[in-house]
Amino acid sequence: MSSIAPEFRLSRFVASLTDIIFWVVVIFTLIGLPIVLILLFYIQLPVINDKLLTPYLALTWLADPSRTLPIVKSLIHTDFFRITTFPGFGFAALLAAGTIFIERKLLAKMQLRVGPLYCGKIEGILQLMGDGLKLISKEIIIPAKADKPIFWAAPLLFVGTAAAFISLIPVAPGWVVADVDVGLLAVFAVIGFFPIITLLSSWSANSKFPFIGGIRALHQMVSFEIPLILSLLGIVILAGTLNLTEIVESQQHYWWIIFMPIGAIVFFTTILAELERIPFDLPEAESEIVAGWLTEFSGMMYGLVQLGSYLKLYAFAALFTVLFLGGWNGPMVWPPFPQEIITEGIKMGPITLHVPGLPLLDQEMLNGTLWFTIKTVGVILVILIPRGVFPRIRIDLLLHTGWYKLIGLSFVNIFIALTLVYAGVLGPGGLIQ
């Protein structure tokens, strides 16, 4: 029985296109504009021509591109923008999405496979979108004897904890969601929630393989969190602060990886274990326990866990960049702003916007973001490569590596840091500043 392709008719195409435009306009009018107006009430609007811009006037100015720039500037410097867009969740999610695609193509090339190809004309560039739509459309199946409240909450808690981790990472000068004085201690506190969430989710599934994977994850994360913390004490000793922004600023002339290579190696190894990546993927060993603690997750619940995992990967790579690779520090490659803009302001028709010092700060922010992104992406690629070349190690070797070898190297790293400080090489009053 042969199938006949439906006949294309221009009238139907135009009708469907008109229908889509109509509903977009209706939804934007009924939902979009009220949301925009509500947001304008929570944004600190600028002063233009010696008058404070009101939300109602700002809403009318959105239709005039020449008057939109002051509103955009005000929006960019709100806490809402920092949390949702940059340098918070949106920026991290974008890098995480790119990481998923690059990992699949990179591993395919390393293993002489094709990888994603058909979904999108250019190297399967739309495969990630296709996978997302597939997960959204799939049915969520809850085990009959599962502890349903905890089972439902686990993926949300996992993503929320990863987002809290991201909020502590400074991306550029002055661009961090939560700049706390004890930022490194806050990072340790947030990381400590991951084993608890993993164990709760595996226990709540009331299934054999998730519980085995959860017990493995608990043993693995606890045994590697101790050397993870100890490997960073050398940085704290040399920098003299727990604030992540100040640690980056202390690396303006040299990176701490030059003096703390052992700490960097230990920290990188513990990152692989904390992320449950090969060769430390025992909690998700598919050849032994199906998918470990992820076995019973389906649909978008599985998608949320995967999103949280790659957000966590970005956060750890960014933390490595901040602590060992100088963060946003790098040569100024972003072109400077014209001097007339800095001195005379930005002229947009009848309006002249005077923001003293803001163009220079924007230049530093763009340059810092560029270097931070390049370094972080480089660390992410190094984290991805072992998955294609290393086998999984046994659980006894994993625990022996964490409790003995890495802890021993961490104490050696601390001893080197103390020697550099008391010898007068680094630290306050040291030879190298």
262 pLDDT exceeds 90? Answer: yes
- CA dihedral 16→22→23→28, nearest 10 degrees, is 150
Residue 306's alpha-carbon distances to 75, 97, 162, 303, in angstroms, are: 30, 10, 11, 5
Task: For residues 234-256, give the mean pLDDT.
Answer: 89
134 pLDDT exceeds 50? Answer: yes
Read off the tokens for 18.
């008109």
Give this prediction's pTM: 0.80
The answer to whether residues 304 and 155 touch, using CB atoms and an 8 Å cutoff, is yes
- pLDDT category at 84 given cuts 50, 70, 90 is confident
For 394-417, how does the pLDDT look when each residue is reduced to its tens digit (9 = 90+)?
777 888 888 888 888 999 999 988
For 287-320, how does the pLDDT look when each residue is reduced to its tens digit (9 = 90+)?
777 777 778 887 888 888 888 889 999 999 999 9
- pLDDT category at 360 given cuts 50, 70, 90 is very low
pLDDT of amino acid 356 = 43
Q: By percentage, how much of the chain surpasses pLDDT 90?
A: 13
The residue to which tokens 């992406």 are assigned:
377
pLDDT of amino acid 266 = 92
pLDDT of amino acid 16 = 80
What is the three-state SS of 319-378?
HHHHHHCCCCCCCCCCCCCCHHHHHHCEEECCEEECCCCHHHHHHHHHHHHHHHHHHHHH
Task: For residues 222-228, give the mean pLDDT.
Answer: 86
The residue to which tokens 């809850």 are assigned:
142
Ramachandran area for residue 276 (φ above 0: left; ψ -120 to 50: alpha; else beta): left
Distance CA 281, CA 273 (A): 7
Query: Strand pairing partners for 348?
Result: 351
Residues in Cβ contact with 29 at an 8 Å cutoff, skipping those fewer than 6 apart: none
Q: Which of 8-12, 45-49, 340-344 has the highest mean pLDDT?
A: 8-12
